[in-house]
Chain A
Amino acid sequence: MDRAIAIQVSRLTKTYDGHMAVSDLSFQVYSGEIFGLLGPNGAGKSTTLRTLITLLTPTSGTASVLGHDTVREADVVRQLIGYVPQERAIDRFLTGREHLELLGALYHLPKAEAAKRIAELLKLVELEEAADRAAKTYSGGMKRKLDIACGLLPDPKILFLDEPTLGLDVQSRLRIWDYVRMLKARGMTIVMTTNYLDEADQLCDRLAIIDGGKIKTLGSPAELKVGLGGDIVSLTLKDQSKIPTLVSALTRQPAMRAVKATPTGLDIRVESPEKALPAILESANRLDCQLEFIEYHRPRLDDVFIAHTGRRIQDETPNAAE
């Protein structure tokens, strides 16, 4: 199926004072999807995002948003996008409504049109009651909601979210996820950066894992996990002397991708559990191997991240100071 392309990034490179933040990055974002840039701090995901929203000029390569070049046609791009920066991009002395009114003027909306949209957005993010209070009285979650309302004010075709739930409590986090899903349901294209694996897993249709300024892998969370070589079934046998027999019996079967003996049993990588589990149980029965324990484990995004970057996402970047 051919899908409309919302964003096209071609061989994007950005260097700061000789340090390469992003190197030869190419990818596409399709219309109507939630696209995630996942990576540790300093991986280059913010640089990529900031190039797309016209704040940075690439050193080489190009980026285009809905067919418009982010450098040559920056003003057109700015009309089409909404941006939700990282936390705290808020003027603590202005009220929520005043934030939105200011942006309304900056997007050149007529007063009546702006007032209508502002009322809708305040309702959407449940800030109607707090709308006329100074933002310094807002909680972290409320500020985030205001940020999102600000990003939505221009009625953008594409919304960019930079670390949307960084530092939020669990409840606010889930609320933000709900908004993002709802916006997608309305047909909006969403590009977000995150360094939370569960967020990327839950929210993104497709994601690019970025590390050291390069895309390590790209695909839907499910694809990426399957790409690792399937789910894992771990068996613990009552009689450990039977392990070699069972290993050789299973190795030859088509539903098993890899069979490995462990001290207490077997670890089997399987393509699909539906086919593999009955076959495993059948072989175990036939060979009279009594099972003490059976564990079925789906690869998590953590496993994907480690497989492609060689480290956990929480680890510091290698070039960061010790």
Chain B
Amino acid sequence: MKEYWQEIHALTMRWVRRLSRERFSMLFTLVQPMLFWLIFFGNLFQRAANVQVTQAPDYISFLTAGVVVMTVLNNGLAGGVDLLFDKENGFLERLMTTPIHRSSVILSRFIFVMTITSLQVLVILGVAFLFGVQPATGLLGIAAILMIGMLFGVGLTAISMAMAFSVKSHGDFFSVLGFLSLPMIFLSSALVPLVGMPAWMGFLARFNPMTWAIDAVRPLILSGWTEALPHVGMVVVVMLIFDALCLYGSVKVFRRAMG
């Protein structure tokens, strides 16, 4: 057990070091493009968005939940990138010849991605606060938002890592990533609530786990516990199923890739 922890700690610290070595990457990780969605998109659509539809005091406070979950989505889907590079340059092979638990590599990645994602979510909530968005459920609500983000992120990161191990080249990886990301966002309740969508898009959005996550985060920010709790309960169930499916599929891939 002590050895297991020593491995996970060393591997996690490697991801942290890598990030801290790249000043620009570090900066852009914290001041991420997602902030632009919040600041520009949020303010831009302030008058274009119909308050009757969004059921929120202003569009930016409606959008905050969407941007929070979009951050989780992007981080999760990109979570396997570093393993992809490790695979391509042979570093992974070096790790695999050491007497470590194979799962240490995967777990270190989960820990790192979840930590970075949580920090980014806090930055987004902080910036939203500057624009007057105050989470209705307070600090406990923020903790619940982080938990939802992690539940969603685990499954996404698992998919991303499995993809990193399966693709032939990193070109393939980034193509799939680019292809997945936008439909996931548009076919969710991130920008428009389900009731405000064309029927067919709303129908598809119901099958998007992202929608469930957003519909739980949103009342935590806008309404309060009484309205949020049923959604939070529901999202936990949905996410556990989602994670179980993702992990089941990816563990097979990990086993094959790492022996």
Contacts and interface: CB of A to CB of B under 8 A. Distances in A.
B237 to A, nearest CB: 38
B144 to A, nearest CB: 35
A150 interface: yes
Nearest to A88: B89
A89 B7 contact: no
Contact of A91 (B18, B98, B259): B18
Contact of B97 (A55, A57, A94): A55
Contacts of A105: 6-7, 9-10
B227 interface: no
B20 to A, nearest CB: 9
A206 B93 CA distance: 27
B99 interface: yes
Nearest to B85: A91
Interface residues of A, number: 30
Nearest to B86: A91
Interface string B92-103: 011111111000
B11 to A, nearest CB: 8
A94 B6 CA distance: 18
Interface in A73-102: 74-75, 78-79, 81, 83, 85-86, 88-91, 93-94, 98, 101-102
A234 interface: no
A55 B93 contact: yes
A83 B97 contact: yes
A89 B94 contact: yes
Nearest to B82: A91
Interface in A56-73: 56-57
A320 interface: no
A57 B94 contact: no
B21 A93 contact: yes
Contacts of A93: 17-18, 21-22
A134 interface: yes
A85 B94 contact: yes
A74 B94 CA distance: 15
Q: Which 8 A-B pairs have the closest CB atoms?
A: A105-B10, A89-B90, A78-B99, A93-B21, A106-B98, A83-B97, A93-B18, A85-B90
Interface of A: 53-57, 74-75, 78-79, 81, 83, 85-86, 88-91, 93-94, 98, 101-103, 105-108, 134, 150, 154
